[in-house]
Amino acid sequence: MNERLVSDRLKCVASFLPKGAWFADIGSDHAYLPVYVCKRDKQAAAIAGELNEGPYQSAKKTVTAEGLTNRIEVRKGNGLAILSANEVNQVVIAGMGGSLISGILEDGKQKLAGVEQIVAQPNVEARAVRVWLQNNGFRLNGESILEEAGHIYEVLSAVRDKHTAKMTEKELLLGPYLMKEGSDVFQTKWKAEIAKRERVIKQMKQAASPDLAKMEKFRHEIELIQEGLT
């Protein structure tokens, strides 16, 4: 696998893992992430989990082709069910929606006992992941936002910590680290999100019986975003 073919998105996810990571990549698809990490770090080892047969076979093929079968084990199964307790120190779940990621974490909670860090890259609904992390004893310790091929991606890292301060509504939606940094990509994303909500509100106003609660929710979110952008 040519490293240059690995997306900036996956490189960003990898950048949150410590040296010598011993991690699970759930929904690994071609196993590009574990292969990229293990090729650069001789101490790293991984378990690549895949639910579906096609991607499972692709993952096995990549790992075999790269001669990494001794350090990357590919397993087929649903979410964290492929793990035994205390098998890995980090869990990565990338390239899915935030609701699916938090659902996988919730369903496999008991497998997270020995896990010190979770790195998540939700394509949408990062809020759902932040909510799950804060309700389950994980403290956000870093976030990144990047644009690649016309898409904007958020990457979240969290570590186990019982004394997690509650995030505000604004922080849950926008991301505390991302909001503080306020990068150009962050501004672009959330200006577009305001416009999206304004469009929906406008359409809803024209409906015969507008969903007032939903309109209010969007208005409230617009306020939060505007505050976060200033």
Enumerate binding residues for ligand SAM (CB under 6 A). Answer: 10, 26-29, 49-52, 55, 78-79, 94-96, 104
Nearest approach, Cβ of residue 55 and ligand SAM (Å): 4
Q: Which structure tokens are listed for 54?
A: 């096609």
Question: Which CB sits closer to ligand SAM, 158 or 224?
Answer: 158
How does 131-159 read in b/e, with b if 16+ C-beta sit within 10 Å?
ebbbebebbbeebbbbeeeeebbbbbbbb
**Rounded least distance, CB 10 to ligand SAM, Å:** 6
Please say which residue, 55 or 98, places its beta carbon nearer to ligand SAM. 55
CB of 91 to ligand SAM, least distance (A): 12
Q: Find, among 117, 99, 109, 95, the residue nearest to 24 by Cα.
A: 117
Q: What are phi and psi of 25, to 5 degrees?
A: -110, 105
d(CA 132, CA 211): 27
Nearer Cβ to ligand SAM, position 105 or 174?
Answer: 105
Measured from the CB of residue 26, what is the shortest distance to ligand SAM in angstroms?
5
The answer to whether 61 and 74 are in contact (CB under 8 A) is no
Residue the block writes with tokens 């071609």: 30
Q: Pick between residue 26 and residue 133 the one whose CB is nearest to ligand SAM.
A: 26
**Residue number, 95 or 175, with CB nearest to ligand SAM:** 95
Q: For residue 120, give the nearest of 86, 149, 88, 144 by alpha carbon.
A: 144
Is the Cβ of residue 14 or residue 225 nearer to ligand SAM in the bound state? Answer: 14
Query: Smallest gap, in angstroms, from Cβ of residue 47 to ligand SAM?
Result: 12
Smallest distance, ligand SAM to C-beta of residue 65, A: 17
Give the CA angle between residues 210, 213, 217 to the nearest 5°: 115
Quickly tell me which residue has 């579906």 as its tokens: 52
